[in-house]
A and B are shown apart, each in its own frame.
Chain A
Amino acid sequence: MSKVKPAALPPDTVIGGYRIIRKVAAGGFGVVYLALDSEGQQVAVKEYLPASLASRSAGELAPQVPSEKLSLYRLGLKSFFEEGRALAQISHPSVVSVMNFFRENETVYMVMNYLEGAALQDFIITARDQKQQKVFRESTIRSLFDEILRGLRIVHQHKMLHLDIKPANIFITDDNKSVLIDFGAAREVLSKEGNFIRPMYTPGFAAPEMYRRDSSMGPWTDIYAIGACMYACMQGYPPNEAPQRLEKDRIATALTRLRGVYSDNLIEVVEWCMALDPLSRPQSVFALQKELSREGERRYTKLSVAEKVRLQFDTMVTDTKKNSKALASSVVKPK
Chain B
Amino acid sequence: MKFSVFQVSRKGGRQLNEDRMGYSYTRSSCILLLADGMGGHPEGEVAAQLALQAMSALYQKQANPEIADIPAFLTSAVMAAHRQIIQYAIEKGMLDTPRTTVVAAIVQNGTASWAHCGDSRFYMVRKAQLVVRTRDHSYLEQPPKGHSPARLAAHQNRNILFTCLGSPAKPVFDMAGPVPLQQGDKILLCSDGLWGTLSDDEIVHEIGQGVVGQTVPDMVEMALQRAGATSDNVTAIALEWETPDDFESTKGDHQTGQMHDGVYASTVQSGGLDSGEDDLDDAAIERSIAEINEAIRRSAARRR
B-binding residues in A (CB < 8 A) = 1, 3, 52, 67-69, 71-72, 74-75, 77-78, 81, 84-85, 88-91, 97-103, 108, 191-199, 211-215, 241, 243-244, 246-247
Contacts and interface: CB of A to CB of B under 8 A. Distances in A.
A84 B261 CA distance: 37
B302 A91 contact: yes
Binding site of A, secondary structure by majority: helix, strand, loop or mixed? mixed
Given A98-B292, A211-B263, 10 more contacts: A1-B250, A52-B251, A68-B217, A74-B279, A88-B299, A91-B303, A103-B289, A108-B285, A191-B272, A196-B269
Contact of B270 (A85, A211, A213): A213
Interface in B233-292: 250-252, 260-267, 269-272, 274-276, 278-280, 285-286, 288-289, 291-292
B270 A214 contact: yes
Nearest to A212: B264
A168 B251 CA distance: 26
Interface residues of B, number: 48
A199 B265 contact: yes
A161 B136 CA distance: 43
A68 B220 contact: yes
Interface of B: 7-10, 21-22, 60, 211, 213-214, 217-218, 220-221, 250-252, 260-267, 269-272, 274-276, 278-280, 285-286, 288-289, 291-293, 295-296, 299-300, 302-303
30 contacts: A1-B211, A1-B213, A1-B251, A1-B252, A68-B221, A71-B278, A74-B279, A81-B292, A85-B288, A89-B295, A90-B299, A91-B303, A97-B299, A98-B292, A100-B293, A101-B292, A101-B296, A103-B285, A191-B274, A192-B269, A192-B271, A193-B276, A198-B267, A212-B60, A213-B266, A243-B260, A243-B261, A243-B262, A243-B263, A247-B260
Contacts of B300: 91
A234 B57 CA distance: 38
A193 B274 contact: yes
Contacts of B218: 68
A108 to B, nearest CB: 7
A241 B302 CA distance: 40
